[in-house]
Amino acid sequence: MLYRTLFAGAALINAVGAWTPPKEVEEAAKASHWAVLIAGSSGYGNYRHQADVCHAYQIMIKNGIDPDKIITLAVDDVANDDMNPFPGKLFNKPTGDGTPGTDVYAGCKIDYSGSMVTPETFVKVLTGDAAGLDGGKVLQSTKLDRVFVNFVDHGGVNIIGFPRTTMHARDLVAALTKMHSAAMYKELVFYLEACESGSMFTELPSDISVYATTAANAHESSWGTYCMPEDKVEGKHIGSCLGDLYSVTWMEDTDNQSPAAASETIETQTERVKRLVTKSHVQVFGDTTISSELITNFEGDTDSAGQLDTSLAPMIARAAPQRDAAIRSNDAALASAYFRFTEMGSAAAGEELVALVQARLSTRKTFEAVAQRLGLNGGIEALPPRAHGAQHVDCHYDVHKAYKSACGELHPEALSFSATMADLCAHQGGSPDAIVKAISAVCAA
């Protein structure tokens, strides 16, 4: 009504002389909404990550974001995997016998797939750098625009995973800071699903208009949900977790609010998710003033103020299935391979299970040797518990870099050993020197 009145007035004034519309009217007319959605894993055991991201894509489309302004990264190897009982489809929620599921893969446009799903591509997309992306989409947002980022994958202390590599917290925060310096958004909201994801934003500035929530704190796993044996769609086992607890909770909240989502704020959604995700501790970082805005200002295309709705009752009843069928995210792929081997008779899943266990044991053996070289005769078990908040990010960055150089990248199923790097940094008082030397010696042997 305000805009119609202003522009009606403009027509009248233009009849008698020049008129310049108020600045806020011009900016409202030019503002856009963008979304960047990333599933950082590969393999059927990580089905849930690609299902989460395609569900998020459907939400963005339903709530009015222009498809040209949604950028999606996913390896895209799950929907058509030989193990999928529904070829070409993905489901983010189970259904009973004879009840069709909602295929979130239908119409889910993936812009970067396969080997293009890397930290480098992610940073280029965020910072609007199209160089080397063969004409692929990048953010072209401006200081007038709102940006929503949703990352889903494995993680560890100060790292998030990609199919063949990892991204450090320092690099993620640097990319967001660069976006702010380049005036690439008015406000940005970031939802991060990963184990120990609360470690990723401990150094996020509070004055760059970024609001971030994470599935877990810096010391715990996030959780897969709708897992075996409750992974059935139309009576058929999928053989993998269908979603992640934090991700499914915020997305089902958004789905269940529609078309009344315009009454819910980011703060309301965050509080609901905190209340319902009982197996990990959802965290909040950055500019919390953004939380008073509507969820559809970021998960859609509205530009409105909101009122806090503290009613949690509608979500309580829907939380029970998620809690009952949850598995620690860092064990979910192992559980999937075990179920597919023992219950579905897949020999390939048996080989996958052995490989995953061996990768984790091999990484553990490496860190046991590093700990021994640092004088910890009891190995990594002798490390004292790291104090909450003691991240030693600079030390961890150097140790992580040294490990990648000397030993190779951490296996996706062994990212939990990033916590061991943080524990070693705490043991060494934040100095990386002795740890780097020990890693080099162990992996050169």
Do 189 and 268 meet the contact criterion of CB atoms below 8 Å apart? no
Say whether 22 sits in a helix, a strand or coil.
coil
445/442 Cα distance (integer angstroms):
5
User: Is 427 part of the annotated catalytic residue set?
Assistant: no
- Name the E strands within 247-330: 283-286, 327-328
The dihedral of CA 183, 212, 154, 253: what is its sign?
Answer: negative
How far apart (Å, rounded) are the C-alpha atoms in residues 337 and 350?
Answer: 7
Known active-site residue 425: no
Nearest CA among 240, 147, 165, 159 for reference residue 202: 159
CB contact at 8 A, 411 and 360:
yes
Candidates 154, 168, 392, 400; catalytic one: 154
Q: What are the distances in angstroms from CA 220 to CA 198, 215, 360, 402?
A: 9, 10, 17, 24
Cα–Cα distance, 197 to 418 (Å, whole number): 12
Catalytic residue (one of 33, 49, 168, 195): 195
Query: Up-side HSE of residue 337: CA atoms within 13 Å toward CB?
Result: 19
Task: Give dist(CA 78, CA 47) in Å, integer.
Answer: 6
197 by DSSP, 3-state: which? helix
What are phi and psi for residue 424, nearest 5 degrees?
-65, -40
DSSP E strands in 288-352: the ranges are: 327-328
Strand (E) or helix (H) holding 361: helix 347-373
Active site (catalytic) residues: 154, 195
